[in-house]
Amino acid sequence: MKRSRIMAGIKGLVFLVVLTFQWTHVTGDTEVSCIFMESCMLPCSYGGRDVVIHWIQVSTGDITVHSFYHNQDQLERQNQHFRGRTSLFNDQISTGNASLQLTKVEVQDEGKYKCYISTIDGNKESFINLKIDAQIQKVNIQQVGNIITCSSEGIYPKPELTWSTSPPSNITSKDITVQPTEQLLYNISSSLIVSDSETDLDYSCTISTRRNRKKATLFKPDPANDSPQSPNSNQLRATRGGIIGGLFVIAALAVLAVSAAVLCWSKKKDVSSALHTNQESTNTSDTKQAASFEQLLLSSNNYS
């Protein structure tokens, strides 16, 4: 009899231990990734009544992110870093939803969070690992002289940059500069010096993080144009364009002078209708210009 009572006692003790173990158990961490400056939800749920919820950022030395008890938010002890950026789904707390909504996510928010739950049935802790990503928006690539520069801004985590060419070749210099910004994001840039033997290549720059990857390509100068790509040849092209444009204007003026002389002989009405068809039939800027010169000439004719 005595023995069975002891056995019952032991059984009860074991039951209690198991119970305690079950009810204050610690679950495995949940991984959550959020986008820089967007909203983010850290999931947490529970069963039971009269809930006390504490959201704690563990990785920064247990700072209070958000608390809820006595049926309302309790923000007196909230760390100011989270001020105005946290909320619970208040209409769903009674149904066991203790998830935290965090807005305007910053890089500093990254880290480990604890959701501490206490109800009349016991306590529960669960952990969230929050990761932040500021994705690569745009990769800029440009050439000045014989230096090609590739850059991108506002990236997190630290990006990587690689150069490649088409057709493949070994590329000479590849210094990569990564600069942290005030928001703890990264600016990245790299410059490449193109030797004269390497001008016949397409240069590509790829920037990547764990979340995304973007590539920009600088295509080799079109062989149909004159070959060596340098600011000088661009200037030359611009000058040539100017000369050709000038010739057009001179030609147009000559045509105008002749037509004006001819037009002086005819009646004004006929002239304006002829002018009208001329404007409609073509669309290049040179003829438009010519037309407006003609109009100018005409209006001065009208006064004389």
Ligand X SMILES: *[C@@H]1O[C@H](CO)[C@@H](O)[C@H](O)[C@H]1NC(C)=O
- Is the Cβ of residue 198 or residue 298 nearer to ligand X in the bound state? 198
Q: Which is nearer to ligand X, 95 or 302 (CB)?
A: 95
Q: Strand, coil or helix: what is 303?
A: helix
Contact set for ligand X, span 60-89 (CB under 6 A): 89
Torsion angle (degrees, nearest 10) of CA 273, 275, 276, 282? 150
The nearer residue to ligand X, 88 or 263, going by C-beta atoms, is 88
The span from the CA of 155 to the CA of 137, in Å, is 8
Closest CB 227 distance from ligand X, rounded Å = 19
Residue 92 lies near ligand X (rule: CB under 6 A): yes
- Closest by CA to 59, choosing from 38, 81, 87, is 81
Please, what is the minimum distance in Å from the beta carbon of residue 223 to ligand X? 21
Strands 122-133, 140-144: pairing is unpaired
Residue 200 interacts with ligand X (CB under 6 A): yes or no: no
Whether the CB-CB separation of 215 and 139 falls below 8 Å is answered with yes
Return d(Cα 186, Cα 215) in angstroms, integer: 17
- What is the closest distance, in whole angstroms, from the C-beta atom of residue 232 to ligand X in the complex? 25
Could you say which of 45, 149, 199, 279 contacts ligand X (CB under 6 A)? Answer: 45
Closest approach of Cβ 209 to ligand X, in Å?
16
Q: Cβ(127)–Cβ(114) under 8 Å?
A: yes
Instruction: Tell me how far, at minimum, the Cβ of 138 lies from ligand X, in Å.
Output: 10
Of 187 and 289, nearer to ligand X (C-beta) is 187
Go through 50-63 and write b for each residue having 16 or more CB atoms within 10 A of its CB, e for each that does not.
Answer: ebebbbbbeebeee
Nearer to ligand X, 190 or 259 (CB): 190
User: Considering the rule CB under 6 A, would residue 168 count as an interface residue with ligand X?
Assistant: no
Quick one: which of 30, 79, 87, 97 contacts ligand X (CB under 6 A)? 97
Q: 187 vs 191, which CB is nearer to ligand X?
A: 187
- Please state the closest distance from residue 71 (CB atom) to ligand X, in A: 17
Cα distance between residue 120 and residue 48, in whole Å: 7
Residues sharing a CB contact under 8 Å with residue 109, sequence separation 6 or more, in sequence order: 34, 40, 102, 130, 132
User: CA-CA distance, 55 to 100, in Å (whole number)?
Assistant: 8
Going from the C-alpha of 242 to that of each of 59, 80, 267, 288, the distances in angstroms are 65, 62, 37, 18
Residue 123 CA from chain centroid, whole number:
41
- Out of 149, 162, 187, 208, the residue judged to bind ligand X by CB under 6 A: 187
Binding part of the chain for ligand X, among 6-14, 65-73, 92-100, 221-229 by CB under 6 A, reads 92-100
User: Does residue 43 touch ligand X according to CB under 6 A?
Assistant: yes
Each residue 13-42 as x (binds ligand X by CB under 6 A) or -, in order, gives: ------------------------------
Of 230-289, which residues contact ligand X (CB under 6 A)? none
Q: Which residues bind ligand X (CB under 6 A)?
A: 43, 45, 89, 92, 97, 99, 153, 170, 179, 181, 187
